[in-house]
Structure 1
Amino acid sequence: MSAKAPSHRAAKELSKLFETINKAASSANVSWEDVLLDNARRVSTPLVIQMLAQMGLDLYGNKPIAPFKLFENACGAGVVAPVLQKTLKPDVLAKSSILCGDFSTPCIGLIEKRIKEEGWVNTEVKRIDAQKTKLESASFDYVTTNIGFHVIPDSEAALDETVRILKPGGVLGFTTWHRPPTWVDELQEVFASFPFEAPYTWTLQMTPWGQWTDVQWVRKTLAAKGLEDVNVDIYAHLSKVDSPTHFITQIAMMIDWIMDSAWSEELRKAHPREEVQGLVKDYLEKKYEGGSWDISWVSLIASARKPL
């Protein structure tokens, strides 16, 4: 069993899953919206807080933040926008604007719902292709992309678009994975225990361009794009898994992705999603005795400024 998958097929299957995420991330007991929001809170929010501080938006410091125009690219369920809504002073929000963009129709609908129900100020969402945003040049003070560039098919085009839509003096910030999260090896261990041959494939980067996990490559690339004040760092944190059942709800979409990427149609029919999830749950129930454990996440956080 390989721990790597052909990136083109993996990227295609992942894109399909995000477009149908309202089905892929749902379970009998938990809605797909709750799954995405739980993952955003436990996994992405700590990364985003670090990224924003690195970009000069130190939400918990004493330095005043001027009104701004920000684009949250590849927003998913929304991470940057809600962090800003919860932490910025009302007078700053009243004079600022936030645009959320994603290609996933279900995610766009979820953001629209959150804007209305949570009362987000001066925030809108649009269906946007990161590779060709169609947004006005030199129009944003900040552009963020959280856990995105390494899975965007044409990641160089997406990076060029980010630079294009930044104002002179504007700042970009993004995160990617520097190392695979520990659930990757754990799930491979589980698949190896199945009473049938269960191919397991995983790839951290699905775009053919670049080395998005590599600190030196990211530094050189941002500088080569003409950016200044390039800062690339590594950030590690833990997220708690409450139980084996909670793990299944968190990772169900990725189990589907592995099965769709690596398994034949015949194997998927012989051992459907429900059976596989049951085997995963049983294995982890025995391993952790029904208790909780932690997943380790190691991310690359980058920021840079467009010259004046």
Structure 2
Amino acid sequence: MAHNKALNAEFAAFAAGLDTAAVKMIASGEAIMKYPGTVLLAQMGLIPEPAPPSSSSPDPSPAAALVQKTQFEPFSLLDNACGPGLIAGVLQEELPKDVLAKSRVLCADVNGNLVDILKQRASIEGWVGVETAVLDAQNPGLPENSFDYSTVNFAMHIIPDPDAVLTATKSLLKPNGVIGITTMHSTTKGWTDDLLAALSSLSSSSSSSAPPILSFTPEPPLPAKIPMTVNNRPEWAEADGVRDQLEAKHGFEDVRVRLLPHKSACLSGADAVERFGMMVRMVTGTYWSDSTRSRVEAELKEKGEEGGLLGYVERFLDQRHGGQAWELEWTMVVATGRKPGP
């Protein structure tokens, strides 16, 4: 899919090492996904329920842990679509080192560049009990009944065949093993409203006397709302849809699904572009042709926008928000289920 190709191209930029760009990518991801990932691990019974960060709204429907524990015990966990290691990082922060040393956390992603970043991060930060592999979550090729837990953190709305992921996960989990999933809910605004406003302003007048920025209207037009699922599986952006997939379609038991509101801060237009520039390129790469993108960049530079499209978006957002910081609002789906036991 176009979205996946665009993402892979972006991640390839970080292949050379854990440089400043990679560090910023990790920090940006954690600002949005760390708290929901922590909530997920708590709901799975691996760590205590976290207090919401100061920038988040209280969770209106906290769910009890699927597996109740009175003390930490060694475990095995597969983190599918692991990215640069958000789930593993939370486990390293929350669990005792002696428990981690006796545990197995396999971080797997189909993108080898991200796995390389995770390896370097694990080495730099002294992670314990972590292994890495380049694997496709849709067909990981791992032994049956080999893991106590499996997570898929913010990927089931992107992966082309989420059913294949659930089938494989159910196979590799031990009896009574626990799956944990997070996705973006369909009502999430996040960065999308700002981005659509910025891109739409290119071909519309800011006042009755000011001409549009561009001499043409990019085609095809952008959607009125950017969908949260890019794999044509809208059920993965709905709580009921996720529940149905886990419970009715794939036979997981004790399925628990909740919506988690969350906020993250943008300090300025430059901060927003630094955090979400990849998304600007992903969206324009998905909806606009190569020739359209080239023409947009060329016209912006002709008009003195040396930073091209990203520079324009940065300046637009500063104007839109009056030069002040602002908050991005997210709604996450957090879901867990248990593989039937004997």
Tell me whether the two structures share a fold, i.e. TM-score over 0.5.
yes
Q: CA deviation at 1:163?
A: 1.0
Q: Quick one: distance in 1 between partners of 2:323 and 2:194?
A: 16
For residues 202-256 of structure 1, the C-alpha deviation after alignment (integer angstroms, 9 at most, x for no partner) is 3221223461112122222212222111100000110011211010011111111
The 5 A counterparts of 1:138-217 are 138-178=145-185, 179-194=187-202, 195-196=213-214, 197-198=217-218, 199-201=221-223, 202-209=226-233, 211-217=235-241
**Contact 2:47-2:95 at 8 Å conserved across structures:** no
Q: CA deviation at 1:162?
A: 1.2
Aligned residues: 294
**Contact 2:154-2:184 at 8 Å conserved across structures:** yes
Q: What secondary structure sits across from 2:258 in the alignment? A: strand
RMSD in angstroms over aligned alpha carbons?
2.0
Q: What secondary structure sits across from 2:236 in the alignment? A: coil
1:67 equivalent to 2:74? Answer: yes
Q: What is aligned with 1:47?
A: 36
Q: Which has the larger radius of gyration?
A: 2
Larger CA deviation: 257-266 vs 243-252? 257-266
| Structure 2 unaligned spans of 5+ | 51-68, 203-212, 299-306
**Contact 1:68-1:141 at 8 Å conserved across structures:** yes
| Structure 1 unaligned spans of 5+ | 1-11
**Contact 1:25-1:252 at 8 Å conserved across structures:** no
Q: CA deviation at 1:80?
A: 0.7
Q: What is aligned with 2:83?
A: 76
Q: What is aligned with 2:264?
A: 239
Q: Quick one: distance in 1 between partners of 2:195 and 2:233?
A: 27
1:221 equivalent to 2:245? Answer: yes
User: TM-score, normalized by length of structure 1?
Assistant: 0.89
The structure 1 segments of at least 4 consecutive aligned residues displaced by more than 6 Å after TM superposition are: none
Q: Quick one: distance in 2 between partners of 1:96 and 1:222?
A: 26
**Contact 1:25-1:31 at 8 Å conserved across structures:** no
User: TM-score, normalized by length of structure 2?
Assistant: 0.81
Q: What is aligned with 2:276?
A: 251
Q: What is aligned with 1:107?
A: 114
For residues 85-131 of structure 1, the C-alpha deviation after alignment (integer angstroms, 9 at most, x for no partner) is 11101221121110000011210110110121111111011001011
1:125 pairs with one of 93, 116, 132: 132
**Contact 1:21-1:106 at 8 Å conserved across structures:** no
Identity of aligned residues (%): 32
Larger CA deviation: 50-59 vs 143-152? 50-59
